[in-house]
Structure 1
Amino acid sequence: MPGRTAPFAPFEWMIAWRYLRARRAEGGVSIMTWISLIGIALAVAALIITLSVRAGFRAEFVDTILGANAHVTVYYTGESGPNGQISRTIADYADLTGRLAEVEGVTRAAPLVKGQVMASARGATTGVEVFGIRAEDLATIPRIADPIEAQGDLSRFGPDIEGIAMGSGVARSLNLTVGDRVKLISPDGVKTAFGTSPRVKTFEIVYLFTAGRYDIDQTRVYMPFAEAQSYFNREGVADEIEVMVENPERVDQMAFDLLRAGGDRALIWTWRDASGSFLRALDIEDNVMFIILSVLVLIASMNIVSGLIMLVKNKGRDIGILRTMGLTEASVLRVFFLCGASTGLIGTVIGVIIGCLFAIYIDPIFALVDGLSGGNVWDPSVRGIYALPALLQWQDIVSAVALALGLSFVITIFPARRAARMNPVEALRYE
């Protein structure tokens, strides 16, 4: 009794390779093989590129949030004052800041005074949001102290020279640079017997920053804390406390400790509260895009099926001869499985290489596309960030490879089984 053939024996690989590289005159379908391989490669590359851009966009968006904004904002509930007006200001901001700083996981707590004013210079005006902050606290904000681009000297920020730090977008709108002076106009100014008159004051720009977020660079101005208290009629009080934490992803777990440290009137607003809807939209978009591109990979994999069906039809005579020579059904199945699986494997490898190279060199590629299209591909006022980012993650590459190889291997089984079950007598009847 003849011994059983070991699975995927060398002769099975040899036959499969012979069929894959056969010319059309020899009954091969090399053109269909190339079409299948290119389709798989492009589909896998598209999947990896999309996943890397998605990961990069999310990482850049979150980094700009965490790098230039409070991880947690602590403010007070409204309290009725002597004149009947509701006030949310924090009179004991120094004590509150100290208590919040002592909470485990908090890296910094800083009092803020905030207000919206008009900035005017050289006949141009624009609305800006002013953050009153201490110089030592401003120096610890990553996207401000260490921005993408900066001009001036942050150490000059302070009340002595009435210097302010300004976003590059604001400066560009007003045609200003470091050393120029800008006029800030607040509608809530000096209270007189005839009403409230606007407060107008001129400040020197000592520092310009590009945080990497369009809405921040286009609207934000930092003013020394004591100066902001005087300018916005907040003498002796603060509007809120800006809290930075060690692990922003765990900010929800810290909410109770922060509220307990804040006291009875304290309320908190986390960065997830501010951007949660956008992050959830990104998650939904990620899932939808993965499903859509999975369908693209499936369509590309179907080319392997059509190519194998043609290969089985053209090689019917060879299958009949091999079966009469003693080749088992299992060996025939493995031969044609190797044909389809090899195409899927090679296409996947090529696709991974293309996708990774595209993600790594996305900046020059995007610059080329942007230049050819006239520079209107990416609008930061709509996207929020200045460039198309890409972040390669091993889990994205693994998921793309697993999907492509899984589909390629599974769909290859069906035409391979058809070849294995072919009756050698029927195959050789008309030969």
Structure 2
Amino acid sequence: MRTTPPFAPFEWLIAWRYLRAKRREGGVSVMTWISLIGITLAVFALIATMAVRSGFRTEFTNTILGANAHATVYVSPHLDENNRTVRTFSDFDPIAENLRAVEGVVRVAPVVKGQVMASANGRNTGVEVFGERFEDIKTIPLVVNPETQLGNLENFNKGVAIGLGIARELDLALGDKITLISPDGIKTAFGTSPRVSAYEVVYIFGVGRYDIDRTRVYMPMSEAQIYFNRDGVVDEFEVQVENPDDVGRMVEPLMAASGENTLVWTWKNASGGFLRALEMEDNIMFIILSILVLIASMNIVSGLIMLVKNKGRDVGILRTMGLTQGSILRVFFICGASIGVVGTILGVILGCLFAIYIDPIFNFVNLVAGGGVWDPSVRMLSTLPAELQLGDVASAVILSLGLAFGATYFPARRAARMNPVEALRYE
């Protein structure tokens, strides 16, 4: 006796006939459409959300690594032979050479650093000043090639470079003067008087991260040493490495190269908690949105149960014609699985299109809402990022198809076990 192979053409033909059947013909076309739309929207929401979360993570990491040191080497406060507290590096050029000699280090820059008040046009704001040499600042990727730039970095030694947020806050343009006020100024008989100096703005940069654009000022190191009373010394060293993710392994070599009484603070120490929070949020969002896919899959179950009930007579006739339980199971499995497959494909397409065209979509939403939907001072980024990752799309596809196939199996199995005599008894 010849047996038909699984998923034979006639099984697909019967399943397609059932999917197209109207309600008056014993079909459930309305439930079919509801199930299809539900799966599509659930997969779309899952992919879109994961793309935005991946974009956030990548954007934050890129701005952290592109405008900040991967590791910072600084002095642990200690007493010298004269019982004076030491917090700076005095012989810093040899130390910089030792740090550059560490395997895996690609950039070392001595830095004079301080927090001051900036003033211009009757406005004031707090800023963080980084005093660096011109040859060192040219090696900071997001300062040399930012999202937005005004002026020429080649003029750095003639003034200061400021973030775009500072320029907007103080209403500054190229060539304007910015006044820096430090409370740690000149000591006199009447106490310490604030140090006030004005500098020309020669370069304005916007890296796209609010906490950098809004607070950062770069100054020539020689000027910073004079301004902060750091004559012949620096506060710390900025270090960048080949593999930022492996920076923890380099802490001990960096400490050994920088000498005694030094400590190393890595970018993971500073931002690792935030990135771990993003990762945990990714997992939570995936679980929550997986519930949506599960609910959409339940619509397939409801539709198939109704289809099996309405097609009981057909099942009895098909069984008496010689169809096996396996064939009946596959017919109804094809009905449910087809909805899951088509819905998943449509959801993937919509999710990918959303991630690719997120900027015009977001601009439209912002326009309809009257603006102010995205506040960079809260979210730290100037735009809403999105990044498609193959792993995220694959996870959504596997989840959707797995739930759809699993939910389809049980009603199809119930139809396959239906007794043809009972199905035809009252016909």
Q: TM-score range by the shorter chain?
A: over 0.9
Structure 2 residue aligned with 1:299: 295
The amino acid of 2:23's aligned partner reads R
Give matches, 1:224-235, under 5 Å.
Answer: 224-235=220-231
The alpha-carbon deviation at position 386 of structure 1 amounts to: 0.8
The alpha-carbon deviation at position 259 of structure 1 amounts to: 1.6
Structure 1 residue aligned with 2:339: 343
Aligned residue pairs: how many?
427
The alpha-carbon deviation at position 95 of structure 1 amounts to: 1.1
Structure 2 residue aligned with 1:41: 40
**Higher alpha-carbon deviation: 96-105 or 255-264:** 255-264
The alpha-carbon deviation at position 79 of structure 1 amounts to: 2.1
Secondary structure (helix, strand or coil) at the match of 1:54 reads helix
Separation in structure 1 between the aligned mates of residue 397 and residue 81 of structure 2, nearest angstrom: 68
Structure 1 residue aligned with 2:142: 143
Secondary structure (helix, strand or coil) at the match of 1:237 reads coil
**Higher alpha-carbon deviation: 81-90 or 24-33:** 81-90
1:23 aligns with 2:22: yes
Structure 2 residue aligned with 1:271: 267
1:114 aligns with 2:113: yes
The amino acid of 1:166's aligned partner reads I
Secondary structure (helix, strand or coil) at the match of 1:130 reads strand
Structure 2 residue aligned with 1:203: 199
Structure 1 residue aligned with 2:75: 76
The amino acid of 1:17's aligned partner reads W
The alpha-carbon deviation at position 80 of structure 1 amounts to: 2.1
Structure 2 residue aligned with 1:168: 164
Separation in structure 1 between the aligned mates of residue 384 and residue 164 of structure 2, nearest angstrom: 20
- Please list the CA deviations of residues 334-371 of structure 1 after superposition, one character each: whole Å capped at 9, or x if unmatched: 00000000000000000000000000000000011111
Give matches, 1:317-328, under 5 Å.
Answer: 317-328=313-324
Give matches, 1:92-103, under 5 Å.
Answer: 92-103=91-102
**Higher alpha-carbon deviation: 81-90 or 23-32:** 81-90
Secondary structure (helix, strand or coil) at the match of 1:198 reads strand
The amino acid of 2:373's aligned partner reads V
Separation in structure 2 between the aligned mates of residue 196 and residue 248 of structure 1, nearest angstrom: 42
Structure 2 residue aligned with 1:245: 241
Q: Is the 8 A contact 2:78 2:261 kept in 1?
A: no
The amino acid of 1:125's aligned partner reads N
Separation in structure 1 between the aligned mates of residue 151 and residue 108 of structure 2, nearest angstrom: 26
The alpha-carbon deviation at position 191 of structure 1 amounts to: 2.2
1:308 aligns with 2:307: no
Structure 2 residue aligned with 1:154: 153
The amino acid of 1:178's aligned partner reads L
The alpha-carbon deviation at position 122 of structure 1 amounts to: 1.6
Secondary structure (helix, strand or coil) at the match of 2:208 reads coil
The amino acid of 1:145's aligned partner reads V
The alpha-carbon deviation at position 194 of structure 1 amounts to: 3.1
- Please list the CA deviations of residues 121-167 of structure 1 after superposition, one character each: whole Å capped at 9, or x if unmatched: 12111111100001111111111110000000100001xx3x00001
- Please list the CA deviations of residues 387-421 of structure 1 after superposition, one character each: whole Å capped at 9, or x if unmatched: 11000001111000000000101111100011000
- Please list the CA deviations of residues 257-309 of structure 1 after superposition, one character each: whole Å capped at 9, or x if unmatched: 11221222121000000011111111111111110011110000000000000
- Provide the identity percentage: 66
The alpha-carbon deviation at position 198 of structure 1 amounts to: 1.1
Separation in structure 2 between the aligned mates of residue 81 and residue 380 of structure 1, nearest angstrom: 45
Structure 1 residue aligned with 2:5: 6
Structure 2 residue aligned with 1:258: 254
Tell me, which stretches of 5 or more residues in structure 2 are unaligned?
A: none
TM-score normalized with structure 2 length: 0.98
Moved over 4 A (4+): 81-85
RMSD, aligned CA? 1.0
